[in-house]
Chain A
């Protein structure tokens, strides 16, 4: 009996038809390939890309140098130095993130009590020489200033889940 089935399967090229059917299905299915960089994949508002530091609306930097992000960072990518500013507030004098060490886990963002350090949707960045991916406080603040509208929108979208 088995011999007969095998004979007909081989004779009628059933396997080939099955394979071609799969090919055909994909041939006519909707394409999901994204033509990067002309096209981009959609991103979640929780996307964890390049870091940025935010300011309040009055221009005051949010970061108060509590060092929780530094403490929680599993890759030891954050380095902070803190001092008392002339007005008596606690501020960072240095806030560096080594993006080569960073694993983009988002713990820094999660631990921040004032939403100062955030991970933006930016994923296209590069460094040309050693040290280019060592981001300092002015660089992070500049990023924050540039993308504040998007960052604020994303935080608002995420707020109800926090």
Chain B
């Protein structure tokens, strides 16, 4: 510990920290641009110059480590003169175009020029001009003359996002920030550069010129996308969401936000929004008033339940729905007498149902990921599915943790991966069994009977070796593993592996309310049908909450044909979508920004939020819609005044953290032999499908976010095959091929990806271009179109 004195205030701080940190601890503000607490020290803006006793010249506070007995003066004559001088230099080449600059009003340079600069400029000569750049659809670099070369964006790319997409080229006066030649910024975290930029050089493209920051009111909310539940500040003007910024929350998103959370707001203002209840009458869609629509739905549902039996009604909800919505949906269905309700639309293996000890969750607090020293990540498109969790794992790896990957695709995670086993989907359980066996041998404990006969490969042995050497191990199952047809077996093996290393085991929650769905009991239970069963054996009536079956379900074609065959499809959706073809009623409901509700994040954090704006048009919060439906159907207990009342009932007497438990009880079924998959039949052009849900196709809101849909990550999906397999089929990258799955087929372009395992074709799901195919896992044939 060092005790130093800043402006006469005594501060106690650990050795090795810097003067600026000590000052902030003491509540003394030192002006700065290039310093950022999450980034490395650059000390190139020189704004934080302070006077230190016995030092002949002013020193940069951000790069000066504290020393015991140090006396620092932040506003002495020397310090003030230094700050004035630096500010004058910074402003020499700054265009001072604040009136047209989007940063105006929230600009660090503007504020500090007022606070620490001179009142007028002495500079008469010509200013430097930097050519503007186009670095993609999200980040606007149209006015690079404003740049003060603090290199925060460069360091962010290198250190946080993991890839250096912006860099500083040239020297001296010619130094400028640019992307690589004809390069764009494609990171899934790129929006954070906008927040980091202390001036208006990097600004938000979708937000460009729409509003001034003083016009916006700031409402707190929770991200409705991935399982992390990032804290959002939704900025609103005239009842319209114009911007989303992160709220600093060290336990969840730190000060970052993924682009999906940041830019998806455009989807909230989409032209596809459903604003009036609609009923299809004689093949034509008519806009009707709410009472008519609700009456219609109540009558139709009770008619189906009474005539065909309640079991003929099924409800499908996405895990992006709030806890209240899911709870009321299941209450409504159970009121009708049907237990057919599910929110796990992309899951294909439900054999763990009834054997789970609790609600599957992350297995540890999010913030603890950084402290793990060994991580095994099974079946996850980590960077795209969980951008900020991937960032945390990247930080852990930087500090020396070893991350091992078991997966069916080898995407660049932008971090050092210690070991990886990239195998076809049907060999995933085998690899985990190998790891389990190798680990048992390593730890010298009895090998589990179910994995006795397994031969351990070198990759598995290396992973086991890495895990065995760790003290704080985490085994994490990603979306791919949860959607896998042998998900229960994967879970059991992962659980055993984690138990052997004494580590934690968890799921990377797919959506904002993946945990909340369980707690709301939006599950079929023992008497109902799960999502897959409901679609495999089509029901007469469906209620869809936020779901677009052909994009959100594991088997898109099966889901679509079930919808087409149904007599009654009631759609509660914020958008007009494909349901216009098969639905009978469309009820406009409010997306997350327009309703109050609760998301329970993957770490089990219960986060309630209020609506930021009023619902668009005649749209109404879904919990209110379902409350009225419950009243119309004369069900007891549907008299809620607020979403809080619904939440309190849903979580009544429940200790959420006590409910969280990943343990899967062992049964015969879940311990089926993990034999190595039989070698591929020598049939040409038959592949196992590896399907990711592209990052900007995960849910209804993101799919309609215009700027996100222009990014490289949202490009039309292609079939990815190994290049030798392309040759075998006789096509070259870029050619159109016919991809068939069962009797369904689509035409799409083909591309080579030599990181894929043999016999695997990677075809994205959740996208309109591939909705013509079947299940996310299965056999595909690829042939020349």
Q: Is there contact, CB below 8 Å, between B99 and A82?
A: no
Among A38-46, A62-70, A95-103, A144-152, the one that faces the other chain is: A62-70
**Interchain CB contact (< 8 A) of A90 among B100, B211, B214, B215:** B100
Q: Is there contact, CB below 8 Å, between B214 and A84?
A: no
* Residues 170-226 of B at the A interface (beta carbon under 8 Å): 208-212, 214-215
* Residues 86-143 of B at the A interface (beta carbon under 8 Å): 98-100, 104, 142
Q: Does A114 contact B (CB under 8 A)?
A: yes
By beta carbon, the residue of chain A nearest B212 is A67
Q: Is there contact, CB below 8 Å, between B209 and A82?
A: yes
**Given contacts A90-B100, A113-B99, A114-B99, are A67 and B215 in contact (CB under 8 A)?**
yes
How many of chain A's residues have a CB under 8 angstroms from any CB in B?
Answer: 14
Complex Cα–Cα for A5 and B209 (A): 83
Q: What does the 1/0 interface line of A45-85 toward B look like (CB < 8 Å)?
A: 00000000000000000001111100100000000001110
Q: Does A88 contact B (CB under 8 A)?
A: yes
B98, B209, B214 interface centre (most CB from chain A within 10 Å): B209
B97 to chain A, nearest CB (A): 9
Q: Is there contact, CB below 8 Å, between A65 and B209?
A: yes
A1 to chain B, nearest CB (A): 69
**Interchain CB contact (< 8 A) of A68 among B99, B142, B210, B211:** B99
Complex Cα–Cα for A6 and B100 (A): 78
B364 to chain A, nearest CB (A): 46
Q: Is there contact, CB below 8 Å, between B209 and A83?
A: yes
Number of A-B residue pairs having CB atoms within 8 Å of each other in the complex: 27
Residues of A within 8 A of B100 (CB): 64-66, 89-90
By beta carbon, the residue of chain B nearest A112 is B99
**Interchain CB contact (< 8 A) of B209 among A68, A84, A113:** A84
Residues of A within 8 A of B98 (CB): 66, 113
Residues of A within 8 A of B214 (CB): 71
Residues of A within 8 A of B104 (CB): 66
Residues of B within 8 A of A84 (CB): 208-209
A31 to chain B, nearest CB (A): 49
By beta carbon, the residue of chain B nearest A91 is B209
B706 to chain A, nearest CB (A): 15
Complex Cα–Cα for A156 and B211 (A): 33
Residues of B within 8 A of A66 (CB): 98-100, 104
Complex Cα–Cα for A118 and B753 (A): 63
Residues of B within 8 A of A90 (CB): 100, 209
Residues of A within 8 A of B142 (CB): 88
Complex Cα–Cα for A150 and B373 (A): 76
A145 to chain B, nearest CB (A): 22
Residues of B within 8 A of A89 (CB): 100
A100 to chain B, nearest CB (A): 21
Q: What does the 1/0 interface line of B209-251 toward A look like (CB < 8 Å)?
A: 1111011000000000000000000000000000000000000
Q: Name A's B-contacting residues (CB within 8 A).
A: 64-68, 71, 82-84, 88-90, 113-114
- Closest 8 pairs (CB-CB, A-B): A66-B99, A113-B99, A90-B100, A84-B209, A64-B100, A67-B212, A90-B209, A82-B209
Q: Give me 10 other A-B pairs in contact (C-beta within 8 A), A82-B209, A114-B99 excluded.
A: A64-B99, A65-B209, A66-B98, A66-B100, A66-B104, A67-B212, A83-B209, A84-B209, A88-B142, A89-B100
Interchain Cβ contacts under 8 Å between A and B, 20 examples: A64-B100, A65-B100, A65-B209, A66-B98, A66-B99, A66-B100, A66-B104, A67-B212, A67-B215, A68-B99, A71-B212, A71-B214, A82-B210, A82-B211, A83-B210, A84-B208, A84-B209, A89-B100, A113-B98, A113-B99
